[in-house]
Amino acid sequence: MVAHVPSFRQQAFINGEWVNADGRASFAVVNPATSETIGHAPDMGAAETRRAIAAAAAALPLWRRASVMARAQILRRMSQLMIEEQDRLARVMTIEQGKPLAEARIEIAYGASYFDWFAEESRRIYGDIIPGSQDRRLFVIRQPIGVVGAITPWNFPSAMLARKMATALAAGCTMVAKPAELTPFSALELADLAMRAGVPAGVFNVITTNAAAAVGEELTHNALVRKITFTGSTAIGRLLLKQASEHIQKCSMELGGNAPLIVFEDADLDRAVAGAVTAKFRNAGQVCIAANRLLAHVSIANAFAEKLAAACAALRVGNGLEDGVAIGPLISMAAVEKVERHIADAVARGARVLTGGARHALGGSFFQPTVLDNVSPDSLICHEETFGPVAPVMRFETEEEALNLANATPFGLASYFYSRDISRIFRVAEKLESGMVGVNETAISTAIAPFGGVKYSGLGREGSRFGLEDYLEKKYICLGGVE
């Protein structure tokens, strides 16, 4: 049975007001599980973005000087409201994005944890005193960077924005956010909660659009914006970095991944299978830190692949609002076609389909969870982010070979491995080229640790005290003439 769907905001949010696009243009948002239009969002462009930036700039002086206690209280209230409204917010997310309701609830709680964490961190933006010479005293203070432009993707429509918003507001910055065209409503709900939590007008603004390039250009070409924070594909990240160079805006880039998951011969196999299922099939594989390539030692590869295929075949596919559904639809038919291309290419290079391998009988963008065995490392699936429910298993013989395979990618967001050998654990963790490593664990993302990548996976970190640094400037003050 499909559960109740709540109402939600369908206007953009500028300077504390709910507004339409100048020409009242709007675009439809479609539920990927049913192909039904669930609502409309304003189709804004450069002019509205400019107004939102001006509002954020006007709100900055008061917000940056607000007492740390006042800011912390508002952020904590934001976290509480998210938890109080967890179920409603999760339903909005499921109908616009497709993920199972249970996953959507977890995402809301995860986003709330960032507000909670940064409510505390905002009270600890300490400075430094550096020993100087006899007649000088040297100080370093940390100040908010200023107005931040945030652009976020559709795969975690609430949490990807909550991570940025919580940190920016904690640092004393103000923000203009642009969510993905496919999933604008979860972002608008965050604006609604911000207003109710007491975030002053202009501090947080949301522009919705189906003309992302125009809004991105205004955010990067407007000198009032001092930082761009982006989560999305490496291609768009690269474009924004170029655009941001005009006004030398600071940039945080959370980009694509191609995570390896290595299962060594000394691993706890059942734990590895359970970890691989979470890392590969959560959000139907549409996760930047999804395990994109599974590498199993030859001695346990058959057992691992078979257990994984059995676990995968048990995952129920369906509308995310229905009880017991583990895999929702893919976001679009283009995503389905990419998955099919990856499977066909792997099979042409000798891979065997252990389970799944085709579109689901439900039709639309539903796809069967799939396990491929004996995948050749030169397959497309090993080099591109699949962003779908396909687990390709490769084999290796030595630790060195596993590391070479794992690092044979320009991406470096997350890596995972399973082993019970303590020397190997340190050796391999240190040699993997990624910003994050999960050892015997794939649920690694948390507000209290730095999330981010190396190589083509991005710049900067979100979460933890390190995340806050990315929204602060260090100012050195030299006081001379001290007798």
Q: Would you tell me which residues interact with ligand NAP (CB under 6 A)?
A: 151-156, 160, 178, 180-182, 210, 212-213, 216, 231-233, 236, 239-240, 254-257, 288, 385, 413, 453, 458
Catalytic residues: 254, 288
Nearer to ligand NAP, 100 or 232 (CB): 232
- Amino acid code (one letter) for 51: R
Nearer to ligand NAP, 154 or 366 (CB): 154
Nearer to ligand NAP, 231 or 368 (CB): 231
Nearer to ligand NAP, 146 or 257 (CB): 257
SS (H, E, C) the chain: CCCCCCCCCCCEEECCEEECCCCCCEEEEECCCCCCEEEEEECCCHHHHHHHHHHHHHHHHHHHHCCHHHHHHHHHHHHHHHHHCHHHHHHHHHHHHCCCHHHHHHHHHHHHHHHHHHHHHHHHCCCEEECCCCCCEEEEEEEECCEEEEECCCCCCCHHHHHHHHHHHHHCCEEEEECCCCCCHHHHHHHHHHHHHCCCCCCEEECCCCCHHHHHHHHHHCCCEEEEEEECCHHHHHHHHHHHCCCCCEEEEECCCCEEEEECCCCCHHHHHHHHHHHHHHHHHCCCCCEEEEEEECCCHHHHHHHHHHHHHCCCECCCCCCCCCECCCCCHHHHHHHHHHHHHHHHCCCEEEECCCECCCCCCCECCEEEECCCCCCHHHCCCCCCCEEEEEEECCHHHHHHHHHCCCEECEEEEECCCHHHHHHHHHHCCCCEEEECCCCCCCCCCCECCEECCEECCECHHHHHHCCEEEEEEEECCCC
Nearer to ligand NAP, 153 or 172 (CB): 153
Backbone phi, psi, residue 369, to 5°: -60, 135
Closest to 202 in 3D by CA, of 57, 69, 302, 67: 57
Nearer to ligand NAP, 236 or 343 (CB): 236
Closest residue by beta carbon to ligand NAP: 216
Nearer to ligand NAP, 182 or 468 (CB): 182
Q: Strand, coil or helix: what is 40?
A: strand
Closest distance between ligand NAP and the C-beta of residue 398, in Å? Answer: 30
DSSP annotation of 247: T
